[in-house]
Structure 1
Amino acid sequence: MRAIVCVKQVPAVSELRFDNEKKTLIREGVHNEINPFDRRAITFAVETKKRYGGEVVVMTMGPPQAKEALVEALAMGADRALHLLDRAFAGSDTLATSRALSLATAREKPFDMVLCGKYSVDAETGHIGPELAQMLSLPHVTGATKVDFSDPFDSALIEAETDYGFQRVEVPMPFLLTTAERLIRPGRPIPDELEAAKTKPYRVITASELSNDPSIFGSAGSPTSVSQIYSIEAKRRNEIIEGSTSEDRVSRLVEKLLAEGLFSGRRDRVEARIKPPDSRRMKSEKAFWVVAERVQGGLRGVTYELLGRGLELAANVASELCTVIFGKTSNDQIHNLIEHGSDKVYVINHEELSAYSSDAYSEALTQAIQKFKPFTVMAAATSLGRDFMPRVAAQLGLGMTSDCIGLEINEQGQLVQLKPAFGGNIVAPILSRTIPQLATVRPGMLTPSESNPFRRGSVIDFTPINIKPLSRMIEERLEADHEAVRLDDADVIVTAGAGLGEPENLNVIRELAEILDAPLATTRKVVDLGWLPRQLQVGLTGRSVGPRVYVAVAVRGAFNHMVGVGRAKTIVAINNDPNAPIFKNCDYGIVGDFAEIVPLLTSKLREAKRKASTQDLKP
């Protein structure tokens, strides 16, 4: 068994600070570490080597100090280290980075598997794995949580996490996988192992060893560029609600939430209005495409969000808005897409697309792009969109921005893609110099389009050729599907923390969530305890959410959790520890035992909701 493991050294995200005057990140005093997901990739490769024998080669591209990460990987059990180190690599975006890594990896053939972390916690793109797989013509699986190798050792059955559950994917060797948090417990070397690792083989690889053309690397080989970054760190009220009794404090909290519009409708969210068909004069050929996504047979809510923003962008340049959808599609769904803004619906259908395959989907979309030549292609930053869209970028040599929180058209007619990084408090405006421009957008960030049943549009059937899947999904299992789907664009979210003490106490939290018509979310610790499924986890290694109201019950409020709720408009904290970090990152807080506070809150909200509904019925 030979495994190539690609790793990245990242700054400790929780230690980063932003200089608002200089518009730069303050890195002084911030220590660097192996990306947490990459550490799992190293550990898994080493454990596999122990079982089957073979060699583990660890590789990174980075400045001289990145050698520290390689030495640590060698101490963890890797056999050799390769360091792509050259000034020509400076300024590389994900495509240029993947290109360099693919050329270096190809020199190590034959190998059985290539491993990467699911994403890096500083940039959070998740591009490298899928792009590297495409460039190496390998099947890939994103977010692996379990790997069963066949006997003989020539294929694997991989279980991978999705937004709603798990998929089981069959892949032949060699393959590439990206490691999820729960694939394996990450190893950490002891000082003696670190010292011994300094004698293991370490080699520097320069750009000239990979290609005679240095322009394919670094800034020159990068189709995307970053404009001036800025901070969007939310300023919280940090108001601890006082009162002579628990009932007084709960009453005051309810008053504040009602004053902010709880139960009176979502004030800060409207639907993007669709102009009559004849009012949009399409003069430009800069078509905007939205890749539709389905879950449990229905269109996922983020599809309407993409259509809502797409309408505005297309109108800005007098162009058309189109939707792309995979597989057999009912007339009702096609009409639904047209009613929500699509001028055209491209139905990409092929018998090999009946079961999801990342390489088959990417090949089919690539062929459609080459034939119809859109200006921009937008997809959702979901487990699906993050899986196959980077392969499209790699195959066509296109710039791509993932996990956008906004899309704009600048004065030059360029698409500006607003990308969060370093835990979500920093935003980087990104431009691409390749066409079409590719972007994935986080669910819950954009205004959905309204339905207009009088709209008319056209349907174009497209059948790609030579679709031969390298991987095949053989089973899909949904867990917490109802709650997980609602987290995308929920108005209110209630989160249960480990401070509840035992899983039976979740019932109290569920009653509160039911009154608020809110989905339930949770923390990593609760997931590790097995109380709730991973798909409900919010935080750095979980979901990112942006509700109007976020109620955290018995949640300590560690940095890794709070970065996932930075977009929440109002955060409410209930915790019996007055020194819990969450009280420094909330708008309203109550110090008290959840067993006493939450039932009171549920009762008072039930009464407030009844009164609000009574008011709505009055003429």
Structure 2
Amino acid sequence: MTPLRVTVLAKQVPKGDHGGRLDADGRLERGGAVTEMNPWCRRAVAQGVRLAQESGGRSTAVTMGPASATDVLREALAWGVDDAVHLSDPALAGSDCLVTAKALTGLVDGADLVLVGASSVDGSTGAIGSMVAELLGLPFAGPVLDLEQQEANRIRAVVQYDNGTESVLIDLPAVIAVAERSCPPCKVPVEEWPNGENIRHVTVADLPPARWGLAGSPTKVTGVRPIGLTREPVIFRGTPKVQVDRAIAELFNRGCFDTFDHQPESSPAVPLSANGDQSIFALTGPAPEECTRALLAAAAELAAEIGARVIAVRIDSTADAADLARWGADSVVSLTGDEPRPVAAVLAGMIGELAPWAVIGGALPWEREVLARLAVALDAGLMSDLVSFTIRGDGRLQGLKPSGGGNLAEIVSHGSPQIATLRTGMLPLPRARELPAYGHQVLPVGDDPAITRFDRRTGHEGDALDRAGVVIGVGRGVDPTQYGALEPIRELLSAELAATRKVTDQGWLPHGRQLGITGRSVAPRMYVAVGLSGNHNHLAGASRAGTVLAINTDPAAEVFAHCDVGLVADWQEVMPYLVDGLRERAGRAGA
């Protein structure tokens, strides 16, 4: 086995919820905040140390940030990292993802393997790894659950998707994003950390000349606003049966059990294109149908407002071109290959010719990698994980994205084109329009010779949550051994199970079942919150639910401030009455 030189990029983040306040320059205020190593980075450090030690190689941890960020390196050294590098310079303050990736790239060149966390809890970017890979001209994979060195110049990785896993062989050198549950995390008591005297400190003077910080960043934060979750709760008390009887009557009055259609005829149709001189590229990858529809509808709305046309760029195995036209595309480009690195290269060539106003895609792993690489290739920057967007008075696209602490950051891009990934589950889903005339062309895309994919396994239906009329969300208040007690209500309502992040972190339900700012977003007619506290980051993933029913024993639980109907009771006591009451009511209604 050949010794590996492994470099791990680790980030310092606020611990728990933070204020999310920004200073006058749009930078997160961290003064006085308790900080820690980013949870995803903890797994990257642990994997990096293991791979280096098993191969007889050497591991290096790198972080970028203020003086306090050395704590991240001290903990990594305590875990077993051999070397540590701290990049800190006032000139770097306010750097966006692109500038951060450029700075870090100057410190990792020469490594056999660069590991990063799959995301960060203070921004949900998930773009740094792909950007570093593009800057270095290397293959990328992630989020990865398992990593093993196969031979001198190759790594075998198991990539995690919402609907399963896939094994990948990757030629070295490479960049890999490590999934949060891939291994036990790097976590060492502070009293065991070394003093850090061996940490190497560098500044921008040690990097190739470039524009750093806010001045060099094509994307900028312009403000921050709290997440709005506004409902008018009706909370019931009393014995479980009394509460259930009242709740069922309320739910039936609200129409929660009526026939449900994700695209009611009363909803507006996707607008027709203005067919102007400008264009918007909408990149559609291997995503559920609802995600593609929401993305194209969003692109069509933007196009109608600015007088542009929508060009849908799809991998050849996705939805029919005519369907894409009904959902918002004016022309369709079918790519013959789907490897992200060559796809990004082909798109960069197209954009050089057509100069689109914007390029948008979903916030799923494939689209994230392609658009992150494209942002580097065009030096345009990336607005990642937007939950909504508007067009400013100056004609620029402004989006809202999670910034931690229950806040959304307002972000704008001054790059050209404007590139963004969107959380499509939080976007409206208009009714399909009549089939318009549309163009269609096929564009050849080659393979990535550094990546071989095999053994794709599907764990569950990937779009089940997106299509469900009723979703039952479970928190840590529901012991996983008791999930079977939810089966009667789940079967009765044809519901799908979802979970909070803490539940999926424990491995009690698959990662693809997580709802929230850092998970998926759904829009069922009813969301049933069982045994969860009601953290705003989680409830944002169900904010478009028609009705929220909450069941919790704690009358002060936050979920009761953001539900429509609440039961203050033990869910195990309530559930039999709820099932019997719904069956009886449905029987009387002839349903």
Tell whether the structures are fold-level matches, with TM greater than 0.5.
Answer: yes
Q: Distance in 2 between matches of 1:605 and 1:360?
A: 53
Worse-superposed segment, 447-456 or 313-322: 447-456
User: Alpha-carbon deviation of 1:31?
Assistant: 0.3
User: Alpha-carbon deviation of 1:28?
Assistant: 5.8
AA paired with 1:437?
A: Q
Match of 2:202 among 177, 201, 205: 205
CA contact (8 A) 2:229 2:540 kept: no
User: Alpha-carbon deviation of 1:367?
Assistant: 2.9
Distance 1:456 1:4, change over 3 A: same
CA contact (8 A) 1:7 1:58 kept: yes
CA contact (8 A) 1:307 1:448 kept: no
User: What residue number does 1:431 align with?
Assistant: 412
SS at match of 2:103: helix
Q: Distance in 1 between matches of 2:317 and 2:379?
A: 29
User: Alpha-carbon deviation of 1:73?
Assistant: 1.8
SS at match of 1:188: coil
Worse-superposed segment, 588-597 or 605-614: 605-614
User: Alpha-carbon deviation of 1:597?
Assistant: 1.3
User: 1:172 and 2:168 equivalent?
Assistant: no
User: Alpha-carbon deviation of 1:575?
Assistant: 3.5
User: Alpha-carbon deviation of 1:97?
Assistant: 0.5
SS at match of 1:257: helix
User: Alpha-carbon deviation of 1:502?
Assistant: 5.2
Q: Distance in 1 between matches of 2:483 and 2:354?
A: 51
User: What residue number does 2:385 align with?
Assistant: 403
CA contact (8 A) 1:290 1:307 kept: yes
Match of 1:480 among 460, 463, 485: 460
User: What residue number does 1:188 align with?
Assistant: 187
User: Alpha-carbon deviation of 1:570?
Assistant: 4.6
User: 1:554 and 2:531 equivalent?
Assistant: yes
Q: Distance in 1 between matches of 2:225 and 2:154?
A: 46
User: Alpha-carbon deviation of 1:101?
Assistant: 0.7
Percent identity (aligned)? 33
User: What residue number does 2:573 align with?
Assistant: 596
How many aligned residue pairs are there? 586
1:196-275 → structure 2 map (5 Å cutoff): 196-199=194-197, 201-213=198-210, 215=211, 217-235=212-230, 240-243=235-238, 245-264=239-258, 265=260, 271-275=267-271
Q: Distance in 2 between matches of 1:204 and 1:517?
A: 57
Match of 1:518 among 495, 508, 515: 495
CA contact (8 A) 1:163 1:383 kept: no
Distance 1:336 1:54, change over 3 A: same
User: Alpha-carbon deviation of 1:144?
Assistant: 0.9
Q: Distance in 1 between matches of 2:471 and 2:403?
A: 23
Distance 1:24 1:520, change over 3 A: same
Worse-superposed segment, 10-19 or 171-180: 10-19
User: Alpha-carbon deviation of 1:72?
Assistant: 2.0
Match of 2:108 among 105, 109, 127: 105
User: Alpha-carbon deviation of 1:70?
Assistant: 1.8
User: Alpha-carbon deviation of 1:119?
Assistant: 0.8
User: What residue number does 1:67 align with?
Assistant: 70
Q: Distance in 2 between matches of 1:240 and 1:220?
A: 51
User: 1:285 and 2:277 equivalent?
Assistant: yes
User: Alpha-carbon deviation of 1:581?
Assistant: 6.2
| Structure 2 residues not aligned, in runs of 5+ | none
Q: Distance in 2 between matches of 1:390 and 1:76?
A: 31
Worse-superposed segment, 529-538 or 320-329: 529-538
1:365-404 → structure 2 map (5 Å cutoff): 365-404=347-386
SS at match of 1:444: helix
User: Alpha-carbon deviation of 1:528?
Assistant: 6.3
Q: Distance in 2 between matches of 1:446 and 1:592?
A: 33
AA paired with 2:164?
A: G
Distance 1:72 1:530, change over 3 A: closer
User: What residue number does 1:125 align with?
Assistant: 125
User: Alpha-carbon deviation of 1:559?
Assistant: 7.4
1:417-456 → structure 2 map (5 Å cutoff): 417-422=399-404, 425-456=406-437
Q: Distance in 2 between matches of 1:558 and 1:594?
A: 18
Q: Distance in 1 between matches of 2:77 and 2:458?
A: 38
User: Alpha-carbon deviation of 1:139?
Assistant: 0.9
CA contact (8 A) 1:14 1:559 kept: no
Worse-superposed segment, 303-312 or 571-580: 571-580
AA paired with 1:273?
A: A
Q: Distance in 2 between matches of 1:157 and 1:507?
A: 36
Q: Distance in 1 between matches of 2:522 and 2:431?
A: 22
Q: Distance in 1 between matches of 2:282 and 2:505?
A: 36
Q: Distance in 2 between matches of 1:288 and 1:401?
A: 15
CA contact (8 A) 1:272 1:309 kept: no
User: What residue number does 2:149 align with?
Assistant: 149
SS at match of 1:183: coil
User: What residue number does 1:538 align with?
Assistant: 515
User: Alpha-carbon deviation of 1:418?
Assistant: 1.9
Q: Distance in 2 between matches of 1:18 and 1:66?
A: 19
| Structure 1 residues not aligned, in runs of 5+ | 615-619
Under a length normalisation based on structure 1, what TM-score does the superposition of the two structures give?
0.86
Worse-superposed segment, 583-592 or 440-449: 583-592
Under a length normalisation based on structure 2, what TM-score does the superposition of the two structures give?
0.90
Match of 1:55 among 53, 58, 65: 58
Distance 1:473 1:197, change over 3 A: farther
AA paired with 2:9?
A: C
User: What residue number does 1:336 align with?
Assistant: 323
RMSD of aligned residue pairs (Cα, Å) = 3.1
CA contact (8 A) 1:16 1:25 kept: no
Deviations 1:55-94 (A, max 9, x none): 2111111122212222222222222221211122111100
User: What residue number does 1:311 align with?
Assistant: 300
User: What residue number does 1:617 align with?
Assistant: none
Q: Distance in 1 between matches of 2:449 and 2:173?
A: 14
User: Alpha-carbon deviation of 1:224?
Assistant: 0.8
SS at match of 1:219: helix
User: Alpha-carbon deviation of 1:162?
Assistant: 0.7
CA contact (8 A) 1:75 1:197 kept: no
SS at match of 1:251: helix
Distance 1:594 1:191, change over 3 A: closer
SS at match of 1:336: helix
Q: Distance in 2 between matches of 1:520 and 1:363?
A: 39
Deviations 1:428-458 (A, max 9, x none): 2221112221111113222224334442111
User: Alpha-carbon deviation of 1:321?
Assistant: 1.5
1:572-591 → structure 2 map (5 Å cutoff): 572-576=549-553, 582-583=559-560, 586-591=563-568
User: Alpha-carbon deviation of 1:6?
Assistant: 0.8
CA contact (8 A) 1:480 1:536 kept: no
CA contact (8 A) 2:26 2:222 kept: no
Match of 1:30 among 8, 28, 33: 33
